[in-house]
Chains A and B, each alone.
Chain A
Amino acid sequence: MASQAGRLTVSILAVVLALTLNASAHHGTTFFSRDQADMVTVQGRVTRFDFRSPHSYLYVETTEASGETVTWRFESVPVPMMKRQGWTTDSLQYGDEVAVEAFPLIDKSERFAWLGKVIKADGTILNPGRTRAIPSWYVQ
């Protein structure tokens, strides 16, 4: 009986997968929230920018409402994709004042988020381009 139920479950899943399966290769990013209410805007100072693959990382130090100084880590796309959006290894320098829009972890276990865009003090917008981690409602 249990094995029949198991077979049925697998059969249903097979149908579901057959209907929806879309082959594409990437790291999963399902742990980032796509909820508009969760989006964060972090204003602070760049302390590190790793222009790397498979993901570039930006670190921004900010002071929270409580007065505590914290560092956010933002993840984004690999170097070839960043370059096609106009980014270079010098796009962000240590100490740059920035505002970062991003999509944080659903479980909020760390100050870690997927990068939406960076707005520099002079108004320049650095946009890493659209990926599946960017919610459809978000305007870059």
Chain B
Amino acid sequence: MSCTGKKAFQRGASGAVVGAILLLALAAWYLPARLDAQSPAATAEIPDLSEIWARLGPLPGRPNAPLVPTARAIGFGLAFDEVLSPRYDCSPVSAPLILLDPFNFQIEQQADRVILRYEKDDVVRTVWLEGHGHPEPGAYDYTIQGHSIGWYENNRLVVVTSKFVFEPTGLDEPRHIPSSTLKKVTERYWREGDRLQVEATTEDPLVLLKPFEFTWEWERTELPLERYDCDPEDARYPAKFHGSTYQDPNWVRLPATGGQEQ
């Protein structure tokens, strides 16, 4: 090896050593944070909810309070035409109604997130656990399932979801009570033996006079999750039998704007 080659080799070796040290330092900084949720102390407060759950109903002795909509929400429901419901086009249902649907769902707990998989509409919700550096939603990030963050507290999983899109039947399908972009759903899950229980609170000041609160319970099941595979053509067929809220659904005069057009 020439002198020049030896120096180049030494420089390369020095670079590799520095690189390795930097890598170790990075790992020393990063790994404890990643493993924090799995450390023995933290695990003691994390309930094991990772199962497939089958619907039971409200918690025994805890009858659910009724939904109390605002007048504008009731007015919207009265004006709404059933045939316009997005459910007839396989648009998936969101929280909180998806909790009440008679289908099984699965909870999968990971170090930095919790995945909620539902048979109904094949919905998958990702709950980003706080303290793991996931990006905050942007101003435009409204989606059907919203943006969920979560944390463990007193042996419970707390999930808070916001940034929902407007849904014309988002809080009551048969009566067409909508949910607005202000909807915020808080779910608190805990386990009692082979049962999963939840307390859910929905706030939506445009739609609800007071928060809508309910409890619900599921039991552990060995049955696998089934695919829903909603078929849009199939979904729309029954809509035609509902008729219309309007005598002539093809002709309603649009009110004058009074020169307020922009």
Contacts and interface: CB of A to CB of B under 8 A. Distances in A.
A50 B227 CA distance: 15
A134 to B, nearest CB: 13
Interface in B73-107: 74-75, 78, 82, 87-88, 90, 93, 96-98, 100-104
B67 to A, nearest CB: 4
Interface in B195-225: 209, 212, 214, 223
Interface residues of A, number: 37
A23 B229 contact: no
Nearest to B72: A10
How would you classify the secondary structure of chain A's contact residues: helix, strand, loop or mixed?
Answer: mixed
B62 interface: no
Contacts, number: 117
B61 interface: no
A10 B104 contact: no
Interface residues of B, number: 47
Interface in A75-118: 75, 78-81, 83-84, 105, 107, 109, 112
Interface core residue of A18, A28, A52, A81 (most chain B CB under 10 Å): A28
Interface string B167-209: 0000111110100000000000000000000000000000001
A80 B74 contact: no
Contacts of B177: 17, 21
Contacts of A29: 238
A5 B21 CA distance: 78
B223 A23 contact: no
Given A23-B212, A23-B214, A54-B235, A17 B175 contact: yes
B165 interface: no
Interface of B: 66-71, 74-75, 78, 82, 87-88, 90, 93, 96-98, 100-104, 119-120, 171-175, 177, 209, 212, 214, 223, 226-231, 234-235, 237-238, 241-243
